[in-house]
Copies of this chain bind each other. A is one copy, B any other.
Amino acid sequence: MSDHATKFKREPAEQRKEALIQATLSLIAEQGLQGATVRAIAERASVTQGLIRHYFSSKEDLITAAYDFHMRRLTDMTSAPADGDYSTARLRLATFVTTGLTHPVVDPGSVSLWAGFLNKVLADDKMQAIHEQTYRDFRDRLESLIADALNEVGIPASPAELRRLAIACNAVVDGLWMEGGALPYAFEPDELPKIGLASVGAIIGVELTDLEQRQT
């Protein structure tokens, strides 16, 4: 009679780690950092709290890993559709902006998550490094899309100019992203991407709004 109801299952390390990270992220999104206690995380991941210590040397270690995971995912979600777009540079830029200002990138949970981490970012060096890294990745990606679009219309820009344009466009996208996440019902469904396209277009001096509708 070996029918003892098995009390737990062993999972591959990476899978468990990610499950714990996901549990952590969902808790922070819902209740902020304070809601992410080891016990709450363990419960949400259907695991006992001791296991967290087995995979992460401390709670801070888990938080750091979760932050890295979230920021990477955010950047990837925004970049992916534009990366697969091989039409014109302008359209690629437009796709990037539109994606970054549409669900699921724009989402209360995402914004809450980002905000929840921010004060740790300013206090902890490791967090600061991750923040700087992901910010630069995102902005560099945007800068190269802008450079391509400007070349395409025959108005290339100097490196210094490109830097300024990238910072500005990044700010518009970030700002709209935040507002959309923080006030989900304050904007029409298509309003944010439209405003984003018009603004980025105005800043770099290239028309972007009419491009999106066309079928290849």
Residues of A within 8 A of B (CB): 28-34, 108, 111-112, 114-116, 118-123, 131-132, 135, 164, 167-168, 170-176, 178-179, 182-183, 186-187, 191, 194-196, 198-199, 202-203, 205
A-B contact pairs, 5 of them (CB 8 A): A122-B182, A132-B183, A135-B182, A170-B179, A175-B176
By secondary structure, the A interface counts as: helix
Contact for A172 among B29, B111, B116, B171, CB less than 8 A: B171
B-chain residues with CB within 8 Å of residue A187 when the two chains form the complex = 167
CA distance A58 to B161 in the complex (A): 52
CA distance A114 to B111 in the complex (A): 12
Q: Does the CB pair B178–A174 fall under 8 Å?
A: yes
Task: Determine how close the nearest CB of chain B comes to the CB of A128; give it in whole angstroms.
Answer: 9
CA distance A196 to B123 in the complex (A): 27
Q: Does the CB pair B32–A164 fall under 8 Å?
A: no
CA distance A141 to B172 in the complex (A): 19
CA distance A171 to B198 in the complex (A): 13
CA distance A167 to B167 in the complex (A): 18
B-chain residues with CB within 8 Å of residue A174 when the two chains form the complex = 171, 174-175, 178-179
CA distance A92 to B205 in the complex (A): 25
Q: Does the CB pair B111–A118 fall under 8 Å?
A: yes
CA distance A66 to B184 in the complex (A): 24
Asked if A121 meets B182 with Cβ closer than 8 Å, knowing A168-B198, A171-B172, A175-B172, the reply is yes
Closest residue on chain B to residue A30 by CB atoms: B123
Q: Does the CB pair B135–A122 fall under 8 Å?
A: no
Closest residue on chain B to residue A166 by CB atoms: B195
Task: Determine how close the nearest CB of chain B comes to the CB of A19; give it in whole angstroms.
Answer: 22
Q: Does the CB pair A31–B123 fall under 8 Å?
A: yes
